[in-house]
Amino acid sequence: MSRLFEGFGDDADATAFPALSHLDAETTDDLDVSSLEKSLLDDVHPADARRAAGADDALGESAGDEDDGELRALAPDEYVIPDFERDAKDLIAYDDAKKRHIRQQISSAETAIQASFKAKREQLQLELKSARSFEDERRASAVHTTRQYANLYPNHVDKKGVKPPTFLENVFSFGRAGRLFRDAFAATEALEQLRAGMRKREEQLGTLEAQMNRAINLKEESIKKAMETDAGIAEFHDRPEISALFKRTERIKKERADYEKRLERGGVSDEEQRDRGMAEFKLTFIELPMMGAIIAKVARYGKLSYFQLRDLTKKEALVSYDSRLDPLRNSVFDVYSVAGAVAAKLKRNDNGTAFRVADHFKVCWRNQEEAEELYGRHRAALREERGLAKMEPRDENEAEIIERLASLASMVEGSGQERTSPAPSAITASPRL
């Protein structure tokens, strides 16, 4: 058990994280609902109807990705919720295609560079092989001529090489001393030049690998920079397999930019912010059962506030904000239905001990370090987002769930801390008639 989980008890004041951030989404085609469809939509919650309409429009746009015509402006009380999952796939596909294109170009350039350096390597190896075949011959010639000169003038031959004869030695030998010296000097110089050339080529072979790697790195940087230029990116977008995908990503970015502008101008309703947030983060309104749930945060969309619950399967759901539920911020609880009645109870381990919020994080995130970090953030925000305006329940079912949770919260508040609250019995409602 980590020190973090040991150091923090579950009886501290609870809180929730700040409101969800809202990302932009994709504008779809106009809503075209018949009078019959409108009458059906009137029987469901307005937010559900709008999300359904947005999904239908998104499917329509998917079938006509090449249509870039102007869209009809929606009425102030109308909005379309994009398909964030599909948009994310398109954006990821575009980024992957771009990376793949760069990798292909780099791979082709690397192959060409390697072929070029292979030819250089083979040429150097051929020259070395040829030089070695002449080395023995030139060494024998240098030894022979030097020995002839040394036999007659040993004082002019040492480890440093051969020295020229004196004037008198050359005169009395009728020029033979000079000829022997020149032959020995020329043969020795030829041998040294050959060996110097061999050493130079051996050094070139040794540095050839580093030069090739440097050339590949420079070419890779050049290709990446070229993709950042207008000409490079335009060439990439003109590829047949990229053109349609690029248009979809541009529409996604444009819709999100338009949404941000509307948000700044105050032209986005609280309901639209909520529905976009729910679609983006795959949130739903609370549905039973939720086992091992905690209040993960308070989600705020303008004037709308919700408790965002998370269960042990990491499923997250919204329930209308009610300050009576505040004592549950640092508790783990079960809320479920039994024989048509809503029941709520504090979650306990098999041995009857309290199931703590720290335990919830350890179950949801198996990685100990990640669980500790997330739990630390959760505790750091325990005292935030309190005393907000009460939200009216969406329907009778949610109202009943809130009442059961409020009763459970009163027990937790009365006990002072979760681990000493009454354990065995669940709080239930009367069966529905």
Count of alpha carbons within 13 angstroms of residue 388, beta-carbon side: 26
pLDDT (0 to 100) of residue 415: 63
Q: Report which of 294, 321, 329 is spatially closest to residue 402, judged by C-alpha positions.
A: 321
**Average pLDDT score, the chain:** 79
* Residue 216 backbone dihedrals phi, psi, to 5 degrees: -65, -45
- Answer whether residue 380 shows pLDDT above 90: no
- Answer whether residue 387 shows pLDDT above 50: yes
* High-pLDDT (> 90) share of the chain, %: 48
Question: Terminal CA-to-CA distance of the chain, rounded, Å?
Answer: 48
Q: What is the 8-class DSSP label of residue 266?
A: T
Tokens representing 330 are 């640092």
From 58-67, 221-230, 331-340, the region with the lowest mean pLDDT: 58-67
pLDDT band at 307 (very low <50, low <70, confident <90, very high): very high
* Residue 307 backbone dihedrals phi, psi, to 5 degrees: -80, 130
pLDDT band at 191 (very low <50, low <70, confident <90, very high): confident
Which residue matches tokens 């300050």? 323
pTM of the model: 0.60
- Return the SS3 of 322: coil
> pLDDT higher for 34 or 247?
247
- Can you name the residues that pair with 335 across neighbouring β-strands? 290, 344
* 8 A C-beta contact, residue 304 and residue 19: no
74-128 pLDDT per residue, tens: 545 678 999 999 999 999 999 999 999 999 999 999 999 999 999 999 999 898 8
Q: 27: Cβ–Cβ under 8 A, 6 or more apart, which residues?
A: 71, 80, 82, 251, 254, 255, 258
Q: Which amino acid is at 179?
A: R
From 177-186, 322-331, 340-349, 397-406, the region with the lowest mean pLDDT: 177-186
Residue 159 CB burial class (10 angstroms; 0-12, 13-18, ≥19): exposed
- Answer whether residue 263 shows pLDDT above 70: yes
Question: For residue 9, how many other CB atoms are within 10 A of its CB?
Answer: 15
pLDDT (0 to 100) of residue 290: 94
Tokens representing 179 are 């000829």
Q: Which amino acid is at 6?
A: E
From 11-15, 100-104, 159-163, 394-398, the region with the lowest mean pLDDT: 11-15
